Structure 1
Amino acid sequence: MELHLKITGILLIILALIHIAFPKYFNWEKEFRPLSLMNRQMMRVHTIFIALIIFLMGLLCLTSFNELTEPGLGKKIILGLGVFWTTRLIIQFFGYSSELWKGKTFETIIHIIFSLLWIYISSLFWIIYFS
């Protein structure tokens, strides 16, 4: 399990760093222009904090296997991570319209990759929690 938790840590850190490219990749400069200043800034600030919390989750997984697998606070943190990533898995299928990826090769591949990633991560946390 320790190896899987470290792999997850690395994957989460990479995922957090990918957020740096979001504004350019998703063309936020143009897309956000019609939004109010508050909404534009809120999207940017929330993206930064989402990336930060994902980075910190990754760091925790990478450095704290023993602490996370011990009864008490460690198991409670693992439970929270399991709930968080299982919720993200559910949102992958019910929070995004399939119009965003169906019939589009690249987008379908990304959808499948991230679906598998959320399954892997959430399953790992549940396995650790119940072991």
Structure 2
Amino acid sequence: MLLHLKIIGGLLLFLSLLHVFIPGHLDWKRDLKPLSLMNRQMMQTHMIFIAITVFAIGLLCFTSAEELTTTPLGRKICLGLSVFWALRLVFQFFVYSPKLWRGKRFETFIHVVAVGFWTYMTVVFYLAAGM
């Protein structure tokens, strides 16, 4: 389990760094331009804080895997993270439209990788929680 938590930690650290490229890939400069200043800055700020949160979870897993699996608080954190990533997996199927990825090679690849990653984290954190 420790190895899996460290793998998740490394992958989440990598994912957090990928957020640097999201605005350019999604052409936020053009797409966010019609939004009000408040909505535009809210989108940008939320994306930054998502990246920071993903980084923090990754750092926690990478540096404290043993504590996550051997302490009552760590197991509660793992249970919470399992629920969090399970909900993210649900959103992948029921909030994001298949029109965003279906028939598009790169987007379909990202969708499949995301489903696999969210599932992997849900299961690992659930098992780490001692459930």
- Which TM class, normalised by the smaller chain length? over 0.9
Identity %: 52
TM-score by length of 2: 0.96
**In the TM superposition, what is the alpha-carbon distance from 1:130 to its structure 2 partner?**
2.3
In the aligned structure 1, how far is the partner of 2:43 from the partner of 2:115? 24
* Residues 1:34 and 2:34 are matched in the alignment: yes
In the aligned structure 1, how far is the partner of 2:100 from the partner of 2:24? 19
TM-score by length of 1: 0.96
> Greater CA deviation, 100-109 or 31-40?
100-109
In the aligned structure 2, how far is the partner of 1:59 from the partner of 1:27? 29
What is the match of residue 3 of structure 1? 3
What is the match of residue 48 of structure 1? 48
What's the Cα RMSD here?
1.0
Structure 2: unaligned runs, 5 residues or longer? none
In the aligned structure 2, how far is the partner of 1:16 from the partner of 1:104? 24
**In the TM superposition, what is the alpha-carbon distance from 1:71 to its structure 2 partner?**
3.7
What is the match of residue 14 of structure 2? 14
For residues 68-111 of structure 1, the C-alpha deviation after alignment (integer angstroms, 9 at most, x for no partner) is 11242111111111111111111110110011111112211111
What is the match of residue 98 of structure 1? 98
**In the TM superposition, what is the alpha-carbon distance from 1:129 to its structure 2 partner?**
1.1
In the aligned structure 1, how far is the partner of 2:77 from the partner of 2:93? 25
